[in-house]
Structure 1
Amino acid sequence: MAPHTHPPHTHAPLPAPSREGSVVLEIGGTLGALIIYTGPDEDGLEIEVSPTGDDTARTHAAVRPRHLAGRTTHCAVISPLPEGGYTIWRTPTTPLGSCTVRGGAVTEQLWPGR
């Protein structure tokens, strides 16, 4: 996903939940991925992240149910992301926290209440 900026908007209805093994991550070299685990109440929520120090260069992903062997978890999967520091946004104007994405790795974060 390339970083971009845009005003608040709506999307077409989300497709059915992902099936086992349906997420492909583009990681390696200087590219990593970020998974933000939430609860089911956040299903469909768009979570935005931006490089530390550049609040306008945001990218986002929707929270989706992910069916794993024997259980379902809800999360947003943001990939690829260039390695570096990122701000995770709770709302368009309120940061939630920060994280560091490493190239060739998956960074995992918990949404509040999770």
Structure 2
Amino acid sequence: MAGSVMLDIGGDMGALIITTGPEWHGREIEISRKGELPEIRTHVAVRARHVAGGVRYTAVYPSLAAGAYVIWRNETDPAGTVVVAGATVTEIEWWPQP
């Protein structure tokens, strides 16, 4: 599935891009705000993005309130945290086994 992503950032809203491996293509990565109920999650699918020099497999969260987020490995196990800054695109690499 091809498509563009429009980011909605500014003020206290930022975006998050998680780059991972091709084994995650089509799978969803869930995140939740740190300190809030862990069952309240946001998820997006990892997609192949054709960029200069090849393909990157990314999950793009186009508009998140600034703050710390938990990245979930699966339904019950957190894999780590990331801090999203307002008016900024935060990019991380994440290489867990699916």
On whether the aligned pair clears a TM of 0.5, the verdict is: yes
- Note if contact 2:47-2:59 (Cα within 8 Å) is conserved in structure 1: yes
Equivalent in 37, 60, 73 of residue 56 of structure 2: 73
Structure showing greater Rg: 1
Task: Give the structure 2 partner of residue 40 of structure 1.
Answer: 22
Task: Give the structure 1 partner of residue 67 of structure 2.
Answer: 84
Task: Give the structure 1 partner of residue 9 of structure 2.
Answer: 27
- The CA deviation at 1:92 is 1.1
| The structure with more strand, counted as a fraction of residues | 2
Task: Give the structure 1 partner of residue 90 of structure 2.
Answer: 107
- Long gaps (5+) in structure 2: none
Does residue 93 of structure 1 match 2:81?
A: no
- The residue type paired with residue 107 of structure 1 is T
Quick one: higher RCO (CA 8 Å, sep 6+), 1 or 2? 2
Runs of 4+, deviation exceeding 4 Å: none
* Separation in structure 1 between the aligned mates of residue 51 and residue 43 of structure 2, nearest angstrom: 23
- The CA deviation at 1:57 is 1.8
Task: Give the structure 2 partner of residue 8 of structure 1.
Answer: none
- The CA deviation at 1:91 is 0.4
TM-score (normalised: structure 2): 0.90
- Long gaps (5+) in structure 1: 1-15
- Note if contact 2:5-2:62 (Cα within 8 Å) is conserved in structure 1: no
TM-score (normalised: structure 1): 0.78
- The CA deviation at 1:41 is 0.8
SS of 1:33's partner is strand
